[in-house]
Structure 1
Amino acid sequence: MPREFTLFGVLLPTLLPLFIVSFVLQTVLDRVLGWAGFYRIVWHPSLARLCIFIAIFGALSLSLYK
């Protein structure tokens, strides 16, 4: 996979689309976990949200660059 790609003549790093996809996936998962009541049993909901986002972003990055 290339390190960057062009979008209408602008060079974008490959991690930018992965970041956007991770954000969308985390938002959907956050809604589902909130609806299920997961955040009521978590000590720090904001930290849990951040960790979920980092895990999704890391998994997508590893799948692309490995």
Structure 2
Amino acid sequence: MTQEIDVYGVFIPALLVWMACAFALSASLRRLFAALGFYKLIWHPPLFDLSLFVASLGCVVFILPGIAP
């Protein structure tokens, strides 16, 4: 069964909300890593950013399963 969130009659997929949360989390982590100089140790920064987003999306989906019943 697909999960959707009703926002004033507009159905939004729960995955879209989770992806927005994960994007905000990964953006803040990218900014922190850039400030710490962590990207000097990374071979391929865009690939690392993608994997950071996927990992943060997995964490958000695991931690916040009750966002859409």
How much does 1:60 deviate?
1.5
Query: Which consecutive aligned stretches of 4+ in structure 1 deviate over 4 angstroms post-superposition?
Result: none
How much does 1:35 deviate?
0.5
Give the Cα separation in 1 of the matches to 2:23 and 2:30.
Answer: 10
- 2:11 aligned partner: 11
Sequence identity percentage: 33
- 1:62 aligned partner: 62
- 2:24 aligned partner: 24
Q: Please, which runs of 5 or more residues in structure 1 have no aligned partner?
A: none
Give the Cα separation in 1 of the matches to 2:43 and 2:20.
Answer: 27
RMSD (Å), alpha carbons: 1.6
Where 1:6 maps in the other structure, the secondary structure is: strand
With normalisation by structure 2, the TM-score equals 0.84
How much does 1:62 deviate?
2.7
Name the amino acid aligned to 1:18: W
Residue correspondences, number: 64
> Which protein has greater RCO, CA pairs closer than 8 Å, 6+ apart?
2
Give the Cα separation in 2 of the matches to 1:36 and 1:8.
Answer: 42
Where 1:43 maps in the other structure, the secondary structure is: coil
